[in-house]
Amino acid sequence: MSDILGELWDVIIIGGGPAGLTAGLYCARARLRTLLLERGLIGGQATSTDWIENYPGFVEGIAGPDLMLAFHAQAERFGLELKMEEAVELEPEGPYRIIKTGSGVYRGKSVIIASGAHPRLLGIAGETNFYGRGVSYCATCDGAFFQDRVVAVVGGGDAAVEEAIYLTRHVSRVYLVHRRDSLRAAGVIQERAFRNPKITILWNTVMESILGEAQVTAMRVRELKTRQSREIPVDGVFVYVGVDPNTAFVSSILRLNREGYVCTDHNLQTSVPGVFAVGDVRDKDLRQIATAVGDGAMVSTSVERYLASFEQMLDRP
Protein backbone atom coordinates (compact mmCIF):
# COMPACT_ATOMS: atom_id res chain seq x y z
CA MET A 1 0.00 0.00 0.00
CA SER A 2 2.81 2.44 0.88
CA ASP A 3 4.15 2.35 -2.67
CA ILE A 4 0.78 3.51 -3.99
CA LEU A 5 0.61 6.41 -1.54
CA GLY A 6 3.62 8.20 -3.00
CA GLU A 7 5.00 11.20 -1.13
CA LEU A 8 5.49 11.12 2.62
CA TRP A 9 4.72 13.99 5.01
CA ASP A 10 6.40 14.60 8.35
CA VAL A 11 3.09 15.71 9.80
CA ILE A 12 -0.48 15.86 8.52
CA ILE A 13 -2.83 18.26 10.30
CA ILE A 14 -6.58 17.67 10.09
CA GLY A 15 -8.46 20.94 10.55
CA GLY A 16 -7.68 24.56 9.76
CA GLY A 17 -8.98 26.43 12.78
CA PRO A 18 -6.79 28.41 15.22
CA ALA A 19 -5.21 25.25 16.68
CA GLY A 20 -4.51 23.62 13.33
CA LEU A 21 -3.13 26.79 11.75
CA THR A 22 -0.88 27.46 14.75
CA ALA A 23 0.38 23.88 14.68
CA GLY A 24 0.98 24.30 10.94
CA LEU A 25 2.91 27.51 11.50
CA TYR A 26 5.16 26.00 14.16
CA CYS A 27 5.74 22.71 12.35
CA ALA A 28 6.46 24.36 8.99
CA ARG A 29 8.77 26.88 10.66
CA ALA A 30 10.64 23.92 12.20
CA ARG A 31 11.22 22.77 8.60
CA LEU A 32 8.93 19.77 8.93
CA ARG A 33 7.12 18.83 5.73
CA THR A 34 3.60 19.78 6.80
CA LEU A 35 0.24 19.24 5.12
CA LEU A 36 -3.03 20.68 6.42
CA LEU A 37 -6.37 19.20 5.34
CA GLU A 38 -9.46 21.39 5.76
CA ARG A 39 -12.97 20.43 4.68
CA GLY A 40 -14.58 23.88 4.85
CA LEU A 41 -13.63 27.45 5.69
CA ILE A 42 -10.10 28.14 6.83
CA GLY A 43 -10.30 29.45 10.38
CA GLY A 44 -13.07 27.15 11.61
CA GLN A 45 -15.65 28.56 14.00
CA ALA A 46 -13.50 31.65 14.61
CA THR A 47 -14.15 32.73 11.01
CA SER A 48 -17.87 32.98 11.76
CA THR A 49 -17.29 35.13 14.85
CA ASP A 50 -18.04 38.77 14.16
CA TRP A 51 -15.74 40.38 16.69
CA ILE A 52 -13.04 38.89 18.94
CA GLU A 53 -11.94 41.09 21.83
CA ASN A 54 -10.33 38.62 24.26
CA TYR A 55 -7.41 37.56 22.06
CA PRO A 56 -4.24 39.25 23.37
CA GLY A 57 -2.57 41.92 21.28
CA PHE A 58 -5.68 43.53 19.79
CA VAL A 59 -6.65 46.30 22.18
CA GLU A 60 -9.86 47.23 20.35
CA GLY A 61 -10.58 43.68 19.17
CA ILE A 62 -10.46 42.23 15.67
CA ALA A 63 -12.96 40.65 13.26
CA GLY A 64 -12.83 36.85 13.37
CA PRO A 65 -12.31 36.45 9.58
CA ASP A 66 -9.47 38.99 9.62
CA LEU A 67 -7.67 37.23 12.46
CA MET A 68 -7.94 33.85 10.75
CA LEU A 69 -6.75 35.24 7.42
CA ALA A 70 -3.66 36.50 9.22
CA PHE A 71 -3.12 33.09 10.87
CA HIS A 72 -3.38 31.41 7.46
CA ALA A 73 -1.06 33.84 5.67
CA GLN A 74 1.58 33.55 8.39
CA ALA A 75 1.53 29.73 8.30
CA GLU A 76 1.78 29.64 4.50
CA ARG A 77 4.71 32.06 4.64
CA PHE A 78 6.74 29.32 6.34
CA GLY A 79 5.74 26.64 3.84
CA LEU A 80 2.57 25.06 5.18
CA GLU A 81 0.77 23.23 2.36
CA LEU A 82 -3.02 23.23 2.27
CA LYS A 83 -5.52 20.93 0.59
CA MET A 84 -9.28 21.49 0.80
CA GLU A 85 -10.33 17.92 1.55
CA GLU A 86 -12.27 16.20 4.32
CA ALA A 87 -10.56 13.44 6.29
CA VAL A 88 -12.87 10.44 6.55
CA GLU A 89 -10.60 7.82 8.08
CA LEU A 90 -7.38 7.48 10.06
CA GLU A 91 -5.53 4.19 9.80
CA PRO A 92 -2.10 3.12 11.16
CA GLU A 93 0.07 1.24 8.69
CA GLY A 94 3.24 0.01 10.34
CA PRO A 95 5.20 3.11 11.43
CA TYR A 96 3.06 5.41 9.27
CA ARG A 97 -0.32 7.05 9.76
CA ILE A 98 -2.67 6.96 6.77
CA ILE A 99 -5.34 9.61 6.20
CA LYS A 100 -8.10 8.86 3.71
CA THR A 101 -10.19 11.67 2.24
CA GLY A 102 -12.99 11.75 -0.29
CA SER A 103 -10.49 12.19 -3.10
CA GLY A 104 -7.12 10.94 -1.92
CA VAL A 105 -4.95 9.02 0.50
CA TYR A 106 -2.08 10.64 2.41
CA ARG A 107 0.77 9.09 4.35
CA GLY A 108 2.37 10.79 7.32
CA LYS A 109 4.94 10.01 9.97
CA SER A 110 2.66 11.80 12.44
CA VAL A 111 -0.84 13.28 12.53
CA ILE A 112 -2.36 16.18 14.45
CA ILE A 113 -6.15 16.07 14.92
CA ALA A 114 -7.44 19.65 14.96
CA SER A 115 -10.91 18.99 13.56
CA GLY A 116 -12.72 21.17 16.09
CA ALA A 117 -16.42 20.97 16.87
CA HIS A 118 -19.77 21.74 15.26
CA PRO A 119 -22.90 23.44 16.62
CA ARG A 120 -25.19 21.24 18.69
CA LEU A 121 -28.78 20.88 17.51
CA LEU A 122 -31.79 21.64 19.67
CA GLY A 123 -33.48 18.50 18.42
CA ILE A 124 -36.94 20.06 18.18
CA ALA A 125 -39.62 19.96 15.50
CA GLY A 126 -38.93 22.26 12.57
CA GLU A 127 -35.24 22.75 13.26
CA THR A 128 -33.83 20.64 10.44
CA ASN A 129 -36.76 21.35 8.09
CA PHE A 130 -36.13 25.09 8.23
CA TYR A 131 -32.33 25.01 8.17
CA GLY A 132 -31.32 27.63 5.62
CA ARG A 133 -34.90 28.92 5.55
CA GLY A 134 -34.85 30.83 8.83
CA VAL A 135 -32.85 28.50 11.08
CA SER A 136 -29.14 29.28 11.35
CA TYR A 137 -26.14 28.51 13.55
CA CYS A 138 -24.10 31.53 12.41
CA ALA A 139 -25.35 35.07 12.99
CA THR A 140 -22.32 36.57 11.29
CA CYS A 141 -23.02 34.51 8.17
CA ASP A 142 -26.76 35.06 7.95
CA GLY A 143 -27.69 38.09 10.05
CA ALA A 144 -27.85 40.47 7.08
CA PHE A 145 -30.68 38.40 5.57
CA PHE A 146 -32.96 39.50 8.43
CA GLN A 147 -32.80 43.26 8.00
CA ASP A 148 -35.47 44.98 10.14
CA ARG A 149 -37.03 41.64 11.08
CA VAL A 150 -37.61 39.82 14.37
CA VAL A 151 -35.40 36.87 15.31
CA ALA A 152 -34.71 34.60 18.26
CA VAL A 153 -31.39 33.43 19.68
CA VAL A 154 -31.37 30.27 21.80
CA GLY A 155 -28.71 29.99 24.52
CA GLY A 156 -27.13 31.92 27.36
CA GLY A 157 -23.36 31.55 26.98
CA ASP A 158 -20.80 33.89 25.46
CA ALA A 159 -21.54 32.89 21.86
CA ALA A 160 -25.32 33.23 22.20
CA VAL A 161 -25.24 36.64 23.88
CA GLU A 162 -22.49 38.04 21.66
CA GLU A 163 -24.35 36.99 18.53
CA ALA A 164 -27.63 38.40 19.87
CA ILE A 165 -25.85 41.74 20.29
CA TYR A 166 -24.38 41.45 16.78
CA LEU A 167 -27.82 40.75 15.27
CA THR A 168 -29.18 44.03 16.63
CA ARG A 169 -27.17 45.76 13.89
CA HIS A 170 -29.59 44.27 11.38
CA VAL A 171 -32.85 43.25 13.04
CA SER A 172 -35.60 45.18 14.79
CA ARG A 173 -35.82 42.82 17.78
CA VAL A 174 -34.00 39.82 19.24
CA TYR A 175 -35.64 37.40 21.65
CA LEU A 176 -32.93 35.72 23.71
CA VAL A 177 -34.40 32.39 24.84
CA HIS A 178 -32.63 31.01 27.92
CA ARG A 179 -33.67 28.07 30.07
CA ARG A 180 -32.25 29.53 33.31
CA ASP A 181 -32.79 32.71 35.32
CA SER A 182 -29.26 34.00 34.75
CA LEU A 183 -26.91 34.08 31.78
CA ARG A 184 -23.64 32.14 31.61
CA ALA A 185 -21.89 34.74 29.43
CA ALA A 186 -19.02 36.85 30.73
CA GLY A 187 -20.13 39.82 32.83
CA VAL A 188 -19.10 42.51 30.34
CA ILE A 189 -21.06 40.77 27.57
CA GLN A 190 -24.15 40.48 29.79
CA GLU A 191 -23.98 44.19 30.58
CA ARG A 192 -24.03 45.07 26.88
CA ALA A 193 -27.04 42.83 26.31
CA PHE A 194 -28.96 44.31 29.24
CA ARG A 195 -28.32 47.83 27.91
CA ASN A 196 -29.43 47.00 24.37
CA PRO A 197 -33.06 48.08 23.83
CA LYS A 198 -33.49 45.65 20.92
CA ILE A 199 -32.88 42.55 23.10
CA THR A 200 -35.71 40.94 25.04
CA ILE A 201 -34.65 38.07 27.31
CA LEU A 202 -37.12 35.23 27.87
CA TRP A 203 -35.93 33.79 31.18
CA ASN A 204 -36.64 30.21 32.31
CA THR A 205 -37.89 29.43 28.82
CA VAL A 206 -37.25 26.63 26.34
CA MET A 207 -38.08 26.44 22.67
CA GLU A 208 -40.50 23.61 21.86
CA SER A 209 -40.79 23.91 18.07
CA ILE A 210 -40.11 26.13 15.08
CA LEU A 211 -43.11 26.92 12.90
CA GLY A 212 -43.68 28.06 9.35
CA GLU A 213 -44.43 27.00 5.79
CA ALA A 214 -41.84 27.99 3.19
CA GLN A 215 -39.93 30.03 5.81
CA VAL A 216 -39.90 30.37 9.58
CA THR A 217 -42.84 32.42 10.81
CA ALA A 218 -43.00 31.67 14.55
CA MET A 219 -41.58 29.75 17.48
CA ARG A 220 -43.40 27.88 20.22
CA VAL A 221 -41.81 28.36 23.63
CA ARG A 222 -42.62 27.04 27.10
CA GLU A 223 -42.09 28.93 30.36
CA LEU A 224 -40.61 26.40 32.77
CA LYS A 225 -42.06 27.79 35.99
CA THR A 226 -45.64 28.15 34.79
CA ARG A 227 -45.38 25.30 32.22
CA GLN A 228 -47.38 27.46 29.83
CA SER A 229 -46.64 27.43 26.11
CA ARG A 230 -47.17 30.21 23.61
CA GLU A 231 -46.35 31.12 20.03
CA ILE A 232 -44.26 34.18 19.24
CA PRO A 233 -43.94 35.46 15.66
CA VAL A 234 -40.29 35.44 14.48
CA ASP A 235 -38.61 35.40 11.08
CA GLY A 236 -35.48 33.53 12.13
CA VAL A 237 -33.99 31.34 14.86
CA PHE A 238 -30.26 31.29 15.69
CA VAL A 239 -29.11 28.35 17.81
CA TYR A 240 -26.17 28.53 20.26
CA VAL A 241 -26.58 25.71 22.77
CA GLY A 242 -23.10 24.25 22.68
CA VAL A 243 -20.96 22.22 20.33
CA ASP A 244 -20.09 18.58 19.69
CA PRO A 245 -16.61 17.40 18.64
CA ASN A 246 -15.85 16.36 15.06
CA THR A 247 -14.52 12.93 15.93
CA ALA A 248 -16.65 10.48 13.95
CA PHE A 249 -13.75 9.65 11.62
CA VAL A 250 -11.50 8.59 14.54
CA SER A 251 -14.08 7.17 16.97
CA SER A 252 -13.08 3.56 16.24
CA ILE A 253 -9.35 4.07 16.69
CA LEU A 254 -8.75 6.77 19.33
CA ARG A 255 -9.78 6.85 22.97
CA LEU A 256 -12.58 9.40 23.46
CA ASN A 257 -14.24 10.66 26.62
CA ARG A 258 -17.94 10.29 27.38
CA GLU A 259 -18.82 13.38 25.32
CA GLY A 260 -16.78 12.25 22.32
CA TYR A 261 -13.75 14.50 22.80
CA VAL A 262 -10.27 13.07 22.13
CA CYS A 263 -8.30 12.07 25.22
CA THR A 264 -4.65 13.16 25.29
CA ASP A 265 -1.69 13.02 27.66
CA HIS A 266 0.31 16.05 28.83
CA ASN A 267 2.22 15.98 25.51
CA LEU A 268 -1.10 16.15 23.58
CA GLN A 269 -0.56 12.62 22.27
CA THR A 270 -3.63 10.43 21.86
CA SER A 271 -4.00 6.71 22.60
CA VAL A 272 -2.28 5.97 19.26
CA PRO A 273 1.45 6.82 19.14
CA GLY A 274 2.25 9.49 16.59
CA VAL A 275 -1.29 10.87 16.62
CA PHE A 276 -1.84 14.10 18.55
CA ALA A 277 -4.93 16.26 19.22
CA VAL A 278 -5.27 20.01 19.74
CA GLY A 279 -7.94 22.67 20.13
CA ASP A 280 -11.67 22.25 20.62
CA VAL A 281 -11.64 18.56 19.64
CA ARG A 282 -9.53 17.71 22.69
CA ASP A 283 -10.80 16.81 26.17
CA LYS A 284 -10.04 19.95 28.21
CA ASP A 285 -11.74 22.52 30.41
CA LEU A 286 -11.52 25.73 28.39
CA ARG A 287 -12.10 26.11 24.65
CA GLN A 288 -11.00 29.54 23.45
CA ILE A 289 -8.85 30.82 20.58
CA ALA A 290 -6.07 31.55 23.06
CA THR A 291 -6.06 27.97 24.41
CA ALA A 292 -6.25 26.57 20.86
CA VAL A 293 -3.17 28.60 19.93
CA GLY A 294 -1.41 27.31 23.05
CA ASP A 295 -2.17 23.73 22.02
CA GLY A 296 -0.93 24.36 18.49
CA ALA A 297 2.35 25.80 19.72
CA MET A 298 2.93 23.06 22.29
CA VAL A 299 2.15 20.14 20.01
CA SER A 300 4.92 21.03 17.57
CA THR A 301 7.53 20.26 20.23
CA SER A 302 5.84 16.93 20.98
CA VAL A 303 5.76 16.10 17.27
CA GLU A 304 9.45 16.92 16.86
CA ARG A 305 10.35 14.62 19.76
CA TYR A 306 8.20 11.86 18.32
CA LEU A 307 9.77 12.23 14.86
CA ALA A 308 13.26 11.94 16.36
CA SER A 309 12.29 8.59 17.89
CA PHE A 310 10.53 7.65 14.64
CA GLU A 311 13.76 8.03 12.65
CA GLN A 312 15.69 6.03 15.26
CA MET A 313 13.08 3.26 15.01
CA LEU A 314 13.45 3.11 11.21
CA ASP A 315 17.24 2.91 11.53
CA ARG A 316 17.09 -0.19 13.73
CA PRO A 317 17.91 -3.47 12.00
138, 158, 263, 283: which one is catalytic? Answer: 138
pLDDT tens string 281-295: 999 988 899 999 999
10, 27, 50, 142: which one is catalytic? Answer: 142
For residue 245, give the amino acid letter.
P
Report CA-CA distances (Å) from 49 to 6, 66, 119, 153, 203. Answer: 38, 10, 13, 15, 25
Active site residue 27: no
Which of 40-54, 63-77, 119-133, 275-289 is predicted least confidently? 40-54
Query: Minimal CA–CA distance to 72: which of 109, 30, 38?
Result: 38
- pLDDT at 316 (0 to 100): 60
pLDDT band at 13 (very low <50, low <70, confident <90, very high): very high
Q: Which domains does the chain have, with CATH numbers?
A: 2-118+244-315 (3.50.50.60), 135-239 (3.50.50.60)
- pLDDT at 285 (0 to 100): 87
